[in-house]
Every structure is written in structure tokens, then in C-alpha cells.
Amino acid sequence: MNSYNPIVDKYIYGELDTDEMVAFEQLLANDSRVKKEYHLYNDINHAILEKDVMVLRGTLDGIYNEIAEPKEKYISSVFSKRKMYYAAASLAMLMATGGIVNQLAKNDMGNEAIYSKYFTPYEVAVTYRSGNEEADKLLLYALQKYEDEEYDKAVVLFEQVLEKRNNDMAANLYSGISLMETEKYQKATHSFQAIIAQNDNLFTEQAKWYLAMCYIKTNSVSKAENILNDLIVKNSYYKDIAKKVLKELD
């Protein structure tokens, strides 16, 4: 991979398809260089508002394409690009005027703090019989791992359940939350979107709430606000807490 990875941007903003996302997450887990690049992007995104980040990235991309060293000089280009990003991010922060300063003052908690304050795993609220069907046994085992906070193992088990029974809304919900706990937020959004797409089921409101949390965590604030407003308008169980989150996002 090049030191400047458009795929990192697409991953952060949920623009990869399922196969691309799975492939990238495997790379992220095994390649320390890609992991550092990913964390660098997140650091910059937390420091600057979304619109400013998009303008900054576009500008830097054009500059870097003009001055980049050949691909075989990967390591040196990583460091030079990283210095460029830190310098540009610092400059953007120093030159920021009223709009950015006021926004940061109004939302001094930051999206990360809001997420930490309001995200809690959903309690296991479903009961499945311990039958002979393999999917039932897997689901019971997955829920046990979930309750034991062994989320990595729970994710694997929930995926096995969904391979056999992809319309299991409970498995989708707990799988999505387990993915959030293992910091695979983009993949988690697909679990919640699958539930919401089915519309009238027992877990629609929960799926919307956790999807909004995913969007806050990944700085997709406008998407989070749309979902939170929907929860309020539809007088959902999450109405009051959604109002609090919206107020802190403003």
C-alpha cells in the first residue's frame, strides 16, 4: 500500500463495500504501517471539523501527488507525508477563526467523549431454547461470550449464526455491538442497517440508536443527527437520551 491511502478515508467514512471492508480490516489487524496511518487520520479528524478535514485532505492530496517520491521509497515517504499532515493540521488549527473556535467551544466534550458517555452495550434481553438446531446452539454460545465481554469470540460466533440464519435480528444486533466493542465500527453499521432495512421488528429502535453511536464515533455527525431526530420524532424509547446527545453535538 502507498503511504497515503484513499482506502483509509473510505473506510473511516463508510464508503467501502463489504468485501473491501473485510479485506481492509484484515490488513489493519496485521500491518502495523497501515494501522499507524489509520490512527494518524483519526487524530487529524478529531482535531479539525469534518468540512475542514475534507478541504485539507483534498489540498494535501494534490500537493503530495506532485512531490511524492517513487513507490519503492515507501518508508521515507511515510515519514515525509506524516510530517506534512501534522504541519498542515497544526497550521489549520492555528489559523482557525470564529467558526471552528466557536464550534469547539460549544462542543468542548468532543465526539469521542460523547460516545464514551452514552455508549453502553445492550443487555441480553432475548431467550433462546437450547434445542438441537446448530444455529440455536451457536447463538446461545455467542450470547454467553457477549455477556462475558469476550467480544472477539462473540463476533466470530454471531457471524456463524448469521451464515445459517441471516434474518436473525437479535444476532445482527449483538453482532453489531460486539463489532463496536472491537473497534470495527464500519462493519458494525452494516449489522444495524440490516435490522433497520427489515423495518418493523423488535430491534429497530435499538439498531438506530447504536447506528447513531457508530456515526458519532466515526465523526459522521450529520448522519448521527438524522437518526437521533428520527428517534425523537417517532417517540421512541431513546427519545429523551437522543435529545441530550443532540444538544451536546450542537
Residue 28's pLDDT is 74
Q: Crossing angle for the helix pair 204-217 and 185-197, nearest 10 degrees?
A: 150
Residue with cell 444495524: 192
Written as nine digits, the cell of 20 is 473491501
Q: Tell me the three state secondary structure of residue 119.
A: coil
Residue 190's pLDDT is 95
Residue 35's pLDDT is 74
CA gap 80, 13 in Å, rounded: 25
Within 125-238, residue ranges assigned H as helices are 134-147, 151-164, 169-181, 185-197, 204-217, 221-233
Domains of the chain, CATH where assigned: 6-105 (no CATH), 115-249 (1.25.40.10)
Using alpha carbons only, give the angle 49, 115, 147 rounded to the nearest 5 degrees. Answer: 150
Taking only the tens place, the pLDDT of each residue in 166-205 is 889 999 999 999 999 999 999 999 999 999 998 777 899 9
Backbone angles phi, psi at 149, to 5 degrees: 65, 25
Residue-wise burial string across 126-163, b where 16 or more C-beta atoms lie within 10 A, e elsewhere: eeeeeeeeebbebbbbbbebbeeeebeebbebbbbbbe
DSSP state of 73: -
Using alpha carbons only, give the angle 245, 249, 250 rounded to the nearest 5 degrees. Answer: 120
Residue 118's pLDDT is 95
Q: Tell me the three state secondary structure of residue 67.
A: helix
* Listed residue (135, 109, 120, 129) closest to 206, CA to CA: 120
Taking only the tens place, the pLDDT of each residue in 220-239 is 999 999 999 999 999 999 99
Give the chain's residues under pLDDT 70: 1-5, 12-14, 18, 41-109, 126-132
Residue 117's pLDDT is 94
